[in-house]
């Protein structure tokens, strides 16, 4: 999950604040364990700031669960991931706790419907810790918004639930993306939604997915006029512009925005079209690429990186 390290760049990983949120272990305790037990032993970036890897997070989550089950820190902190898993699996108390605590789309939806934003946020965090950020995106966040959309269309939840989900989920996505904020070299993508587009969760999801691939993203967010997107693309020296086109967008209006964007952008800048309605765009311009599924994002990233390396 952690991209390859390059000493010339900022180290990929999580700050102590994010590590604490992902594992439920306070920053003070993390520092204390480091001093007392030598674990976790985070990397240090150029500014000597602690950077925790996915492997640290995975082990810390297991240690934290063992502590909750009644083990003392000295008993479990030196143990590896496999050993910790065995300890947890052999503990009847923990098995029960595991069953109750592994988040599912249903349990997340239940939290939302029960007007429990704190519980929803906690379950989302636990999902990230259990599955890692990429699988969290593909198997939890995306299916969850899909189910929420269906529940709203069927009248089972109110619009305020959709708003609540958007706030809580985008907060978590931003928090995870912020771990990659200080990467300074490599290709850059600008992400935006046009005027009248209010659906911005897709942008936050893609921003995190791209960050995990080592792509720097600049988020303009939704409701951005096309000429402003074009100006930002030039001012921010990006290699690609990504536009989200959700299922509630008006195709004719969006095509008008895209025409204006394309006429104002540099002639060789690719424009990725994502979101449910992206495939309905019928404009004929070689710069437009439909990038709707995660597999298509993977492919687009490979192309973007190849073109960036060729021009470097």
Which residues make up the interface to ligand B12 (CB under 6 A)?
142, 145-146, 148-150, 152-153, 159, 162-163, 166, 170, 191, 196-203, 205-206, 242-244, 246-248, 272, 274-276, 291-292, 297
Question: On the CB side of 269, how many CA atoms lie within 13 Å of its CA?
Answer: 23
Minimum Å gap between C-beta 292 and ligand B12 is: 4
Minimum Å gap between C-beta 235 and ligand B12 is: 19
Minimum Å gap between C-beta 149 and ligand B12 is: 2
**Which residues are CB-contacts of 253 (< 8 A; sequence separation ≥ 6)?**
196
**N- to C-terminal Cα separation, the chain:** 26
Minimum Å gap between C-beta 291 and ligand B12 is: 4
Minimum Å gap between C-beta 270 and ligand B12 is: 11
- Looking at the Cβ atoms of 30 and 205, the one nearer to ligand B12 is 205
- Looking at the Cβ atoms of 30 and 304, the one nearer to ligand B12 is 304
Minimum Å gap between C-beta 257 and ligand B12 is: 13
- Looking at the Cβ atoms of 260 and 276, the one nearer to ligand B12 is 276
Cis ω for the linkage preceding 40 (within 30 of 0): yes
Alpha-helical (H) ranges within 213-279 are: 226-235, 251-264
Helix (H, G, I), strand (E, B) or coil at 189: strand
- Looking at the Cβ atoms of 79 and 204, the one nearer to ligand B12 is 204
- Looking at the Cβ atoms of 239 and 246, the one nearer to ligand B12 is 246
Kindly state the DSSP code that residue 289 receives in the 8-state scheme: E
How far, in Å, CA of 187 to CA of 194, rounded? 23
Q: Are 172 and 144 in contact (CB under 8 A)?
A: no
Here the tokens at position 137 are 């995106």
Residue matched to tokens 């895209």:
258
Helix axes 16-23, 159-178, angle to 10 degrees: 130
- Looking at the Cβ atoms of 5 and 303, the one nearer to ligand B12 is 303
Helix or strand holding residue 296 (H, E): helix 294-311
């Amino acid at each position: 999950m952690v991209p390859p390290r390059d000493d010339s760049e900022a180290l990929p990983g999580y700050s102590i604040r994010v590590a604490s949120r992902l594992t439920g272990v306070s920053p003070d305790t993390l520092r204390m364990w480091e001093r007392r037990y030598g674990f976790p032993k985070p990397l240090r970036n150029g500014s000597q700031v602690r950077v925790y890897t996915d492997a640290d997070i995975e082990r810390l989550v297991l240690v934290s669960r063992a502590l909750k089950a009644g083990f003392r820190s000295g008993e479990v902190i030196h143990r590896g991931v496999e050993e910790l898993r065995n300890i947890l699996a052999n503990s009847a108390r923990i098995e029960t706790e595991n069953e109750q605590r592994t988040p599912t789309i249903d349990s997340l939806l239940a939290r939302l419907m029960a007007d429990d934003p704190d519980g929803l946020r906690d379950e989302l965090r636990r999902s990230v810790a259990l599955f890692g950020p990429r699988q969290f995106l593909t198997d939890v966040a995306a299916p969850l918004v899909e189910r929420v959309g269906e529940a709203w269309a069927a009248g089972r939840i109110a619009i305020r639930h959709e708003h609540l989900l958007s706030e809580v989920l985008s907060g978590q996505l931003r928090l995870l993306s912020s771990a990659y904020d200080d990467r300074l070299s490599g290709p850059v993508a600008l992400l935006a939604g046009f005027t009248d587009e209010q659906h911005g969760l897709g942008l936050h999801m893609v921003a995190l997915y791209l960050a995990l691939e080592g792509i720097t993203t600049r988020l303009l967010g939704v409701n951005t006029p096309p000429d402003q997107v074009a100006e930002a693309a030039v001012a921010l020296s990006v290699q690609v512009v990504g536009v989200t086109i959700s299922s509630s967008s008006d195709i004719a209006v969006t095509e008008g925005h895209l025409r204006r964007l394309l006429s104002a952008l540099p002639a060789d800048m690719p424009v990725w079209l994502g979101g449910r309605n992206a495939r309905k765009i019928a404009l004929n311009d070689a710069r437009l690429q439909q990038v709707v599924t995660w597999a298509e994002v993977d492919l687009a990233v490979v192309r973007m990186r190849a073109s960036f390396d060729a021009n470097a």
